C-alpha cells in the first residue's frame, strides 16, 4: 500500500472551503475504518469458497491489504484525538446489513462482489474526497489506492461467463443486486449521520450533487459489468 500523503499547509482548505477540522471528517474516517475491518473478515470467509489454493492466496492478499488500510485510518483518527473502535462501531448496522443482504452463494458471486461492491464503495468515498482538504483527501485516496490485486477477478469471471451463458445471466443479475443494495445502504448511512451529509454539501452545490452522484454510479457500474463480460 502506498501510504504517502501529499504535503499540505496546516491552513489549507479544499477549493470548496471545507475545513480539515470539520466533524464530518472524523465520521468519514470512522466509516471507512469499519468498512475495512468488515471487508477483512468477509474476504477471509469467502477465501474458503475458492476452488484452488491460488484463489485462496489471492483473497488472503486482499484481506491483508484491508487491514493495512484500517491501520492507516486508525492512526489518522488517533492523530485527531479519536478512539477508533467506539467511533466506527456506530456504522456497523448499515455495513453489516449490506453484507448480510449480499452474501455470495458461489465462488464466482464472491469474486463479482469483491470487484463490483468494493468499486462502488470506492466511488462513494472518492466523491467525498474531491471536496476535502489535501491532507484529509490524501488519507482517503491512500486507503483506496491499492486496486491492482483485483485483476485476477476480471480474468476468472470473464473466463467463466465466456464459456457459460447461464453463468453470465446469473452473475449479471447478481451485479445489479449489488448496485441496488449499495445505493440503499449508502442512503441509509447519510440519512442517519448529519455530519457526513454536511461534509458533502458544504463543498458542493448541495443535495443536487448527491443526486447526480448516484446517477453516475449507474454509469460506472455498467462500465465495470462490461469489464467482467457481464454486459
Summarize the chain as % helix, strand, coil (round to 5). 75, 0, 25
Give, for 15, the enclosing helix (H) or strand (E): none
> Which CATH architecture fits 23-227?
Up-down Bundle (1.20)
User: pLDDT truncated to tens, each residue of the chain (231 aa)?
Assistant: 333 333 333 333 334 567 888 888 999 999 999 999 999 999 999 999 999 999 999 999 889 989 999 999 999 999 999 999 999 999 999 899 999 999 999 999 999 999 998 888 888 888 778 778 888 889 998 888 765 567 889 999 999 999 999 999 999 999 999 999 988 888 888 888 888 888 877 755 555 666 777 788 888 898 899 999 998
Cell numbers describing residue 195: 455530519
CA–CA separation, 99 and 120 (whole Å): 14
The answer to whether 29 and 73 are in contact (CB under 8 A) is yes
Read off φ and ψ for residue 191, nearest 5 degrees.
-65, -30
Burial of 211 (0-12, 13-18, 19+ CB in 10 A): exposed
* Furthest C-alpha separation in the chain: 56
Domains of the chain: which residue ranges? 23-227
The answer to whether 103 and 38 are in contact (CB under 8 A) is no
CA–CA separation, 129 and 190 (whole Å): 15
Place of cell 473502535: 85
Closest CA to 32 of 78, 71, 83: 71
Q: What is the pLDDT of residue 33?
A: 95
CA–CA separation, 21 and 210 (whole Å): 22
Cell numbers describing residue 178: 449489488
Burial of 196 (0-12, 13-18, 19+ CB in 10 A): buried
Place of cell 448511512: 189
Sign of the CA dihedral running 189, 33, 35, 6 = positive
Amino acid at each position: 500500500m502506498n501510504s504517502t500523503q501529499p504535503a499540505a499547509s496546516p491552513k489549507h482548505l479544499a477549493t470548496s472551503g471545507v475545513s480539515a477540522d470539520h466533524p464530518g471528517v472524523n465520521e468519514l474516517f470512522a466509516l471507512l475504518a469499519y468498512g475495512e475491518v468488515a471487508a477483512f473478515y468477509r474476504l477471509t470467509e469467502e477465501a474458503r469458497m475458492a476452488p484452488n489454493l491460488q484463489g485462496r492466496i489471492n483473497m488472503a492478499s486482499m484481506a491483508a491489504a484491508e487491514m493495512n488500510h484500517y491501520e492507516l485510518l486508525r492512526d489518522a483518527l488517533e492523530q485527531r484525538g479519536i478512539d477508533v473502535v467506539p467511533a466506527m462501531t456506530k456504522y456497523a448496522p448499515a455495513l453489516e446489513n449490506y453484507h448480510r443482504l449480499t452474501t455470495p452463494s458461489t465462488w464466482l458471486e464472491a469474486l463479482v462482489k469483491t470487484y463490483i461492491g468494493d468499486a462502488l464503495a470506492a466511488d462513494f468515498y472518492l466523491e467525498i474526497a474531491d471536496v476535502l482538504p489535501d491532507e484529509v483527501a490524501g488519507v482517503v485516496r491512500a486507503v483506496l489506492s491499492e486496486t491492482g490485486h483485483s485483476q485476477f477477478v476480471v480474468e476468472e469471471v470473464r473466463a467463466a461467463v465466456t464459456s457459460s451463458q447461464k453463468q453470465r445471466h446469473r452473475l449479471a443479475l447478481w451485479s445489479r443486486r449489488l448496485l441496488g443494495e449499495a445505493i440503499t445502504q449508502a442512503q441509509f448511512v447519510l440519512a442517519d449521520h448529519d455530519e457526513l451529509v454536511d461534509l458533502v454539501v458544504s463543498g458542493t452545490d448541495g443535495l443536487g450533487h448527491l443526486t447526480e452522484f448516484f446517477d453516475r454510479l449507474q454509469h460506472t457500474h455498467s462500465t465495470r459489468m462490461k469489464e467482467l463480460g457481464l454486459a
